[in-house]
Structure 1
Amino acid sequence: MSKRTSTAIVPAAASSLTLAVPAVGNLDAYISAVNRLPMLTAERESELARNFRERQDLDAARELVLSHLRLVVSVARQYLGYGLPHADLIQEGNIGLMKAVKRFDPERGVRLVSFALHWIKAEIHEYILKNWRMVKVATTKAQRKLFFNLRSMKTGSGTLSAGEVDAIARELNVREKDVVEMETRLSGKDLALEAQTDDGEEQYSPGAWLAAPQADPTQVIEARQRDRLQGEGLARALEALDPRSRRIIETRWLRDEAEGGTLTLHELAAEFGVSAERIRQIEAKALQKMKGQLASYV
C-alpha cells in the first residue's frame, strides 16, 4: 500500500478473508475513513467471532477486521522512527490483524483488541527486519529484542552512559557489549554495514518476538519444563554421581570463565593420577547415568 494507491487490502497468504476498503485518495483520507468505522460492543464481537469460527461467515470476519483498522493505524504510528513508509507499516499491520481474527476464540474471555495487538506488532516487526538494512545484522533473538526496545529505554538523545548501559543490560537480560554495539548500529543507520542481499534471508515466525511470551501456552509449558530440567533435574543428577565423577562433569561442562574455565582431560588426569583415557571413560559413564536421571524431567 503506497501513499497514493488504493487502500484495498487482500493479502491471500494471510487468511481466506476478502477485505475490501473503499479506495480513497491518500493515506490521510484512509486514516480518516477507518477512524469513522464503528467500534463493536463485546456482545457483537463475540457473536461475529462465533459466526466466523463455526460457520466460516466471511461477512462476520470482515466486520471484525474493519472495526479494528484504527488499532493498526495507532500501532503502526509507533514505528515511524525506523524510516519506513507509514502506509506500508499499516498494510503489514493489517495482515497481522487478519491473522488474529482467523485465530481469535471468543470463548477465552479476551477481547479481540488485546489478542490482535501482538499479531499486528509481529507482522510490523517482520517487515522492519526484512527491509531496514541496518537490522539485517540483528540475527539473534537478543539482538532483535535490543533493536525494538533500546530507543524507548534511552533517557536522552546522547550516547548511553556506563550506568545506563548496565541498567538496560540487566533489564533485557543481555550483555553490556551487546547494548553498546546495538546503540552504535542504530545511531549510524544511514551507513550500510554489510552487503548482504535478500537471497537466503532468514525467515522469522511471530512467536519469535512476541511482546508477551506468557500469552502462548506452548511457550509457557516449554519454559517450565526447561527451568525444571536445568534446576532441580540437573542438581539431582549430579547428586547421584560419586565425588570423582561429579568433579569431572562440573569442571568439564558446567564451569564458566569466571570460575576458571573448563578443564581438559589431561588436566583432570594429572589431578586424579590416572590416564586421560580413563577420565574420558568416567566422563562418558557419568553422562550416561545423568541422562537416565534427567529422563523423568523431559
Structure 2
Amino acid sequence: MSNITSNALDVYFDELQRFSQLLSKQEEYDTAVAAANGDKAARDTMIQSNLRLVLMVAKKYQNYSLDWAEIIQEGNTGLMHAVDKFDPERGCRFSTYAVWWIRNNIEQYIMNHSRTIRIPIHVTRVYKQILKASSELGLDVDTNEGITKIAQELKISPRKVLNILGHYFNEGSLDKEIHSGDNLLATLKDLVAAEVDCQPDIRYEKCDYYEYMDALLEYLPVRSQNIIRLRFGFKGQDPMSLQAIAQLMDISRERVRQIIRNGLSQVREQLCANDLVKEDFDFEADAILPQLCD
C-alpha cells in the first residue's frame, strides 16, 4: 500500500468502505492458509479485509501531535507483519493476533518520533508508571526511601526503578522547570505525569497486557486457560487465590500451581515461536508472574 498523506485520508476512507469486507471464520482460515503458502492474492485479501481493524486501533492515537495519516500507515505496516507471521493452524482468530502487531507498530512509531533520543517502549511505559506512583504517593525519586516505596508499589526491584530513571536523568532533571514567557507552567515531572492520565492508550495498562495474554492462552488446553484466567483476574474479575481455584476445580492446590507454571511456560514458547517482541511481556511479567504461583 502506498504512503498515506493527510490530504488523501478522505480517499483512503472511501477505499476502506469499498474493499475492507469482513471474512467469515471459514473464509479467514482458507484465505490465511493460502497466504501462508505464498498466494499473493490471498495475502492482499487478508490485508484488505482487516483495514478497518487498523483504523479502529489508530483512532485511539489521533490526538497526538503526530500526523494521524502516518499513524494509520504504521498500523497498516503492523497488519502486514501480522499477515506474514500468522499461523492459521493455531486456532486463533486473526484479528486477535493482529491487534498486538498493529498497536505495537503504532506505539513504536509514536515513541520513536516523540523523543530525540530513542528509549525502548517498555522502558518508557514503566517510567510513566514510576512518575505516576511518585505523584500519587507523594514520594521523591531522589531519595532511597522514595525509590524503595515506589518499587514496592509497582512490585519491581529498587534496582529496576533506578535503571529506568537513569535513562531519563541523563537528559535532564525531572524537576526542570517549563516556562511560557515569564510564567512557570510546570515541571517535566508534572507534564509527563499528566500525559499518563490524559493519554491512557500509550501506557502499558494491565487491560492491554491481559488482552494480549488472553490471545496467547488460546494455544493452551481449555482447563489451563480457565485456571490462568482465574488466577490473573481477566476481564475485570478479581484474581483468585490458588486455594480458591483448587476448590472450584476440585483439584489440589499444588496441581493448580503446576498447571499455571506449565501454561505460562508454553505461553513464553509461543512468544518465541511466533517471533514476537518479548520485551513488553517479559518486563511486566517480572512483576506479575511470580505472584501467580505463590
Report TM bin, short chain: 0.3 to 0.5
Structure 1 length-normalised TM? 0.47
Greater RCO, CA 8 A, separation 6+:
2
Structure 2 length-normalised TM? 0.48
